[in-house]
Structures are given as C-alpha cells and as structure tokens.
C-alpha cells in the first residue's frame, strides 16, 4: 500500500496559516529567518472572508468591509465547517460552494499575493490545521490547497508550528506547553524541546472554541443593553448583527489594554452609547476560559508531567492577548506565560520553517540552511483510531482502539478478531476515530465489506491501521489463515471530493484572481 506523498513542485514553497478569522503566508528569507509576506494591501494578515459581488469572489480586507452592507453575500469563519458534508454557501444567483472551495479562494489569494512579492511562482505549501482536527477537515484542507493550485507538501498542527517558530534559534528548551487560542479554534500541546528535537508528548483541543465565541458573549451583552435602552433587537437583522459583531470585536481588543470602554451602537433612527468593563467581559467569558483551562490540565496530565516540570508556556493565536487568558495560565503554572513573540505571526512562520526543511530534505546541497543542527519534529495523533468489533464473551458491539491518541507519528497498529459465524462469505470493517470503547461516543469514518473464503467461526482476521505524518489514514485487512491480504484502502469521507471533482474545480480556480 502506497502512502500519500506530495513531491516537490517546480516553484517556491511557502508556509500558510489558514485561519478562521485571518490567514497569513510566510517564507524563509535569505538570512534563514521566517517572515510573513505582505498582501496587496501591504498587510501581513489577510481576513479569511470572501464576498461575492454577483458571481465574482473578492477575498480579504475589501470582503470584510462588505460584511455590514451585504451580509448575505459574505462568507466568514468557514474553517469551522471544513469537513462538514452538509455545509454549503449559496450566492445570490444560486451557485453553491463547499467549504473546500471557499478555503481554496482564500488560499489562491495568498498564493497570488506571495507571487507578486517574491517575483516567482509559488507551487508548494505547508498548510497548518488545528491539532484537534480529525480526518475529514484535514482531508478537506488538502483538497482546498489542491484546488487553489498548490502542491500540499505537509499538513502541520498549529501548536507544533508555533513551537517551531519560537524554538528555532535555540532559546527555548525543556518541557513546553503551547496554548493556541485563535479566532475560531483552540489547541493545547505539550512538547519537549532539546537542541534541534521537537517531540510532542500530548495534544488536546476544541475545534469550536475561539475568539468568535468571546465576541458572541459580548454581542449578547451589548444587544441586551441596547434593547433595555429602547432599541430594537440587533440580532433580528443580518446587517445590524454584522455591525454589532464588528463593534464587539473592537471592544474586546480595547478591553485587553483598558479596564473599560464605550460602544456606540445604532439601528434605524436609534443610537446610544453603552459602557462595558473588562470585569464584566471576563465574568461573561469565565466558562469559556474554564474550558481551555480544563484542556490544559488534561493534556499536561496525559504528558505525564507535574506542573513544576513545565518550563515554559508559549502563546499563539490573537485571542491570547486577553489578560484573563494570561492570568489563568499563570495561576496554573506558577509563572507567567511567554508572550514575547507576536502570536499572530508564529503559526505561519512555523509552517514556512517546515516547508524549508522539506526542501532541505529533498535537496540537501541547495538553498539556505536555517539552523545547525536541522530541527527534527515528531508530532502525535490527535484522535484515537480503531474499529467496531463484537465482544468475544458478551457479543456486544464495542470500539477497539488500535492506535491510541497521542501516539507518535507516523503510527500503526493491528487488531486481530475472528469471523462471527461458520462459513460467512463477507467481513464488515468499520473504522472509527475516538478514544472511547463505547460505539456511540466515537465517529465511524469508514464502513466497508470484503469477500472472504468460507471458514469456520473465529477464523482470524487482522485489521492494520496506519496514520501518516499528516494523520491521513490507511487500512489493510488480512486473512491470517491463508496469510493473504483481502482488502486495502485509504480512508475518505463519504462526501469527500474525488479526483475528477478536484481537477474540475482546479481548472475553474485557475481563471480566478480573488
């Protein structure tokens, strides 16, 4: 069985942070340092927003400015829907877009802007994803890159990318916690950094927790106060809601550096100014911060470390600027987190480093060397991998975890079971992602039947599961009686794009400059 391998393209390689609210592209410069590449507006961060002017897509700052005027023609926060087979955005003319296509428009914009600055074609990319993404959104991210005209060399976990950017110069070592709270997702990872070795010990997260949710809490507070002052319900009108979200986001940023702020809100003929304090905001968001705290405590415990052995906490993601986050982490660790670096830049910089390392690996004699010794990165699985089987004693259906969560990548494991009855002619293989033995608590990611030779009950069958470095999953089924392979497949979501769909959309994308 051949694993997925992205060979080197003919142009430049970059690192891309495909974010929920903002995206960035970076490349290692002539001095061996990673740096963000500015977009056509001379900004380092490009809003992950797509506006459809009729059928013409516009990406970035101009799209974000169109949210209030045309909220129904704008797509935001698509990263949260990656891998969702039911999600579609429909334009005014009725054209439907999948999450992969919207993300491809954002990636194409980053690619084109980078080419304008670098003066050469960008063909290759390392794209980051939340560590807690499972198979479906990882596949969708690879598809989005392919549609955008990029050869996706690697899918890199965001906390690992941040640690790589922090620790490249050798200034960071020991046991490190990376706390990554972005616009729409949250990850926490524990690593050991020693010399050029980055070894992930454990990872956890929540793909539906980020700055977006903190904004929502503030929006509800402001809306309630606006209505109490005599104004209409701002959440009943898409344009009013879009304006409220922008004001809440600005107020959140102000409260990170000031104890209070005033928010002027208008709807129709009614306008009022509403006060809000940092203390009120922190009280509203205490449950959200507690959710991240629970994940941090869990992942440090899973890494087998007492807090006294955690040498440093690194911050990534713009939402870590909120003082309540830093205060919570200092209470946990007994020392303040390290926020010496710009949390918005780290993930793209780490992806650029990984892209450069892959280039060095492909051609050791060419190009700029970024460090000596060259960093070695060992990540772990973010989800357990297993299969549904019948308990040999009770005959009840259970989930057998074959590759546990936090296993070093690439990873593989076997599970031997027996046929259920005499002379059965097929075997059903149901592959799962999750860490529970209870079938209802895991997700079935593949359900296949294979013909087998007629044998007595309990004739042994072996299922082998493999994760590659991108956490793409491969399965092999072996008849142990005859030592023959009866089935092998790479796992795809039932709704994932096939090759012809990707090629069709790639051809369509080549004609678009978003």
Q: Is residue 79 among the annotated active site residues?
A: yes
When computed from its CA atoms, the radius of gyration of the chain, rounded to whole angstroms, is 24
Tell me if residue 343 falls in helix, strand or coil: coil
| b (16+ CB within 10 A) / e for 402-429 | bbebbbebbbebebebebeeeebeebeb
State the catalytic residue, choosing from 79, 108, 111, 247: 79
In angstroms, the CA 186 to CA 210 distance is 6
In angstroms, the CA 158 to CA 17 distance is 8
In angstroms, the CA 381 to CA 302 distance is 13
Is the distance from CB of 137 to CB of 143 less than 8 angstroms? no
Tell me if residue 122 falls in helix, strand or coil: strand
Is the distance from CB of 479 to CB of 424 less than 8 angstroms? no
Q: Report the DSSP beta bridge partners of residue 466.
A: 412, 474
Q: Which two tokens stand for residue 401?
A: 């975890």
State the catalytic residue, choosing from 76, 135, 143, 180: 180
In angstroms, the CA 435 to CA 257 distance is 41
Is the distance from CB of 158 to CB of 346 less than 8 angstroms? no
Tabulate helix, strand, coil % of the chain (nearest 5). 35, 30, 35
Strand order in the sheet with 186-194: 312-316, 174-181, 186-194, 197-206, 376-378
Q: Is residue 158 among the annotated active site residues?
A: yes
Q: What is the DSSP-derived secondary structure letter of residue 157?
A: E
In angstroms, the CA 72 to CA 93 distance is 12
Q: Give the pairing of strands 12-17 and 122-129.
A: parallel
- The sign of the dihedral angle between the CA atoms of 179, 49, 135, 410 is negative
State the catalytic residue, choosing from 158, 249, 344, 479: 158
Is the distance from CB of 277 to CB of 236 less than 8 angstroms? no
The tokens 């596949």 sit on which residue? Answer: 139
In angstroms, the CA 146 to CA 134 distance is 19
In angstroms, the CA 479 to CA 456 distance is 13
Nearest to 179 by CA among 319, 301, 314: 314
Contacts of 70 (CB under 8 A, 6+ apart): 51
Q: Is residue 180 among the annotated active site residues?
A: yes
The tokens 């997925």 sit on which residue? Answer: 4
In angstroms, the CA 74 to CA 52 distance is 6
Nearest to 441 by CA among 392, 492, 384: 384
Would you name the residues annotated as active-site residues? 17, 79, 158, 180
């Amino acid at each position: 069985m051949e694993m997925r391998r992205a060979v080197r393209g003919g142009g430049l390689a970059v690192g891309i942070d495909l974010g929920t609210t903002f995206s960035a592209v970076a490349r290692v410069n002539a001095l061996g340092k990673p740096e963000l590449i500015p977009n056509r507006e001379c900004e380092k961060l490009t809003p992950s927003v797509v506006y459809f002017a009729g059928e013409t897509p516009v990406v970035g700052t101009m799209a974000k400015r169109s949210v209030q005027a045309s909220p129904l023609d704008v797509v935001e926060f698509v990263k949260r829907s990656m891998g969702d087979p039911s999600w579609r955005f429909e334009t005014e003319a009725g054209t439907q877009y999948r999450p992969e296509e919207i993300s491809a428009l954002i990636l194409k914009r980053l690619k084109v802007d980078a080419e304008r600055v670098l003066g050469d074609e960008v063909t290759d990319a390392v794209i980051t994803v939340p560590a807690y993404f499972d198979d479906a959104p990882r596949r969708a991210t690879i598809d989005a890159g392919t549609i955008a005209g990029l050869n996706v060399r690697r899918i890199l976990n965001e906390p690992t990318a941040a640690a790589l950017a922090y620790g490249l110069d050798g200034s960071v070592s020991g046991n490190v916690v990376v706390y990554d709270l972005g616009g729409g997702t949250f990850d926490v990872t524990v690593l050991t950094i020693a010399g050029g070795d980055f070894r992930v010990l454990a990872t956890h997260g929540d793909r539906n927790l980020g700055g977006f949710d903190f904004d929502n809490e503030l929006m509800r507070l402001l809306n309630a106060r606006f209505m109490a002052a005599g104004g209409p319900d701002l959440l009943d009108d898409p344009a009013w809601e879009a304006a409220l979200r922008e004001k809440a986001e600005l107020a959140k940023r102000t409260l990170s550096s000031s104890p209070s702020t005033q928010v002027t809100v208008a709807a129709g003929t009614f306008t009022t100014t509403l006060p809000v304090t940092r203390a009120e905001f922190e009280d509203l968001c205490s449950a959200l911060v507690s959710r991240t705290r629970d994940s941090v405590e869990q992942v440090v415990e899973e890494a087998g470390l007492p807090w006294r052995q955690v040498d440093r906490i690194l911050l990534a993601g713009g939402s870590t600027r909120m003082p309540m986050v830093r205060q919570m982490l200092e209470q946990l660790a007994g020392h303040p987190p390290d926020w010496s670096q710009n949390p918005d830049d780290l993930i793209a910089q780490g992806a650029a480093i990984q892209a450069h390392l892959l280039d060095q690996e492909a051609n050791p004699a060419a190009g700029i060397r970024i460090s000596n010794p060259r960093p070695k990165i060992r990540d772990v699985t973010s989800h357990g991998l297993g299969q549904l089987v019948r308990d040999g004693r009770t005959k009840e259906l259970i989930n057998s975890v074959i590759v546990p969560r936090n296993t070093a990548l690439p990873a593989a494991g076997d599970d031997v079971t027996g046929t259920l009855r005499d002379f059965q002619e097929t075997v059903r293989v149901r592959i799962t992602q999750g860490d529970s033995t209870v079938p209802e608590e895991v997700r079935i990611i593949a359900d296949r039947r294979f013909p087998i030779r007629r044998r007595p009950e309990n004739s042994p069958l072996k299922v082998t599961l493999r994760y590659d470095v991108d956490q793409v999953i491969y399965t092999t089924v072996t008849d142990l009686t005859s030592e023959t392979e009866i089935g092998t497949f790479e796992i795809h979501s039932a709704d994932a794009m096939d090759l012809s769909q990707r090629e069709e959309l790639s051809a369509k994308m080549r004609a678009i400059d978003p």
